[in-house]
Amino acid sequence: MTKQQIKYFDGYKYQLAVDYTLLVPVDSEAIVNTQFVTLTPYGELTIRAGYAWDGPSGPTIDTRSGMRGSLVHDALYQLMREEKIGTHNRPLADELLCKLCIEDGMWKWRAWLWRREVKKFAGFAAMAENNKQIITAP
């Protein structure tokens, strides 16, 4: 039997167990459809079961109140990195992160701090040159 390399992505902690759909205020001219994320022109975002993300980023702890916001935020940033939607949607994604975290019980000051930090430091994560690379082993 010939030995075949595996191919994988690094940097994920969580995997979505069931599909999740939400209306989001982002701009898409056409239907965006990737393996795990669909976005319609009227803002219906569907993240499919199996989608992997890294949870809340930065110097913070992962809490239940941050999981939905981080999921949606990561999916939208991924669409920006893949150039499926424009980076002009970044402020909307950042505001949505804050809104979802507050809805899910996060203290407002903490959600506002997250929003401030992603506005200042997360721009690189929406850029195409930072798309996750496929790693092979062995």
Per-residue confidence (pLDDT) for residue 107, from 0 to 100: 95
Q: Which has more pLDDT, 128 or 30?
A: 30
Per-residue confidence (pLDDT) for residue 9, from 0 to 100: 81
What CA–CA distances, in Å, run from 42 to 52, 100, 137? 25, 19, 41
Closest by CA to 47, choosing from 17, 7, 82, is: 17
Q: How far apart are CA 3 and CA 109, in angstroms?
A: 53
Is 11 a residue whose pLDDT tops 70?
yes
Closest by CA to 98, choosing from 75, 115, 81, is: 115
Q: How far apart are CA 133 and CA 75, in angstroms?
A: 16
Peptide bond into 56 cis (omega under 30): no
pLDDT digits (tens, 9 = 90+) for 21-63: 999 998 788 899 999 999 999 999 999 999 999 888 766 788 9
Q: Which has more pLDDT, 95 or 114?
A: 95
Q: Tell me the three state secondary structure of residue 67.
A: helix
pLDDT digits (tens, 9 = 90+) for 99-108: 999 999 999 9
